[in-house]
Chain A
Amino acid sequence: AQSVTQLGSHVSVSEGALVLLRCNYSSSVPPYLFWYVQYPNQGLQLLLKYTTGATLVKGINGFEAEFKKSETSFHLTKPSAHMSDAAEYFCAVSAPNFNKFYFGSGTKLNVKP
């Protein structure tokens, strides 16, 4: 079975500050892990994904995430927040030969000027 837990439904940071959005997963097989972003009135867009290989994954808009198997985590970070980063972020898990993606409940990021 697979599941995702996102700690913190709302996160607020100041512009220029570090962004850290937490994601922990549960999977009975080696996982594929994803972060999606949803802007108001838009569809979810892929930020980055981990399938195999390097555990530090870089995505669009300066975001990156690190797969830590020992901690079953895939936290999303960005060194310096921008006002345009304000959105809702979803972590998701899948696995080889699975046709389902399991999403977390989302974290809304607010960026203060």
Chain B
Amino acid sequence: GAGVSQSPRYKVAKRGQDVALRCDPISGHVSLFWYQQALGQGPEFLTYFQNEAQLDKSGLPSDRFFAERPEGSVSTLKIQRTQQEDSAVYLCASSWLSRGSNEKLFFGSGTQLSVL
């Protein structure tokens, strides 16, 4: 497809389960971002990739959160031992350039994670 694709669209997990969220960016996009959007809030930065390199992971809330982009295209955000506070929409965004700061971000529709 032409846009950023995220799967699954919805995920329900029991507390303590591990989950994996997938992002397929637009082909050829160098930069990839993960954001977390809690209910009623704006997106909050989690991590940033330039191709396969994870250049910034300062927004990951704990060591239970792990992200990878091994071949510089598809990315996976993994959350281990999920907690209720992890419930949120996880957004993936990509852009053409290696420095995304002034470039248009293309967002996926997000994965809504509910931890029971």
Contact = CB atoms under 8 A, between A and B. Distances in A.
Contacts of A105: 40-42
B41 A44 contact: no
Nearest to A44: B107
Query: Taking chain A's interface residues, is the majority helix, strand, or loop, or is none over half, making it mixed?
Result: loop
Interface string B100-116: 11101111111000000
A106 B4 contact: no
Contact of B43 (A9, A32, A44): A44
B104 A46 contact: yes
A78 interface: no
A6 B42 CA distance: 10
Interface of B: 3-4, 31, 33, 35, 40-45, 48, 50, 55-56, 59, 91, 93, 99-102, 104-110
B4 A51 contact: no
Interface in A77-101: 90, 92, 94-101
A100 B56 contact: yes
B102 A44 contact: no
Contacts of A9: 40
Given A9-B40, A44-B91, A105-B41, A99 B99 contact: yes
A105 to B, nearest CB: 5
B40 to A, nearest CB: 7
A103 B43 CA distance: 6
30 contacts: A6-B42, A9-B40, A32-B101, A32-B102, A41-B109, A42-B109, A43-B4, A43-B107, A43-B109, A43-B110, A44-B93, A44-B105, A46-B104, A51-B102, A90-B43, A92-B42, A98-B101, A99-B50, A100-B48, A100-B56, A100-B101, A101-B43, A101-B100, A101-B101, A103-B35, A103-B42, A103-B43, A105-B42, A106-B40, A106-B41
Those 10 A-B pairs whose CB atoms lie nearest each other, nearest first: A103-B42, A43-B107, A44-B107, A94-B101, A98-B101, A51-B102, A46-B104, A32-B102, A99-B48, A105-B42
B59 to A, nearest CB: 8
Nearest to A43: B107
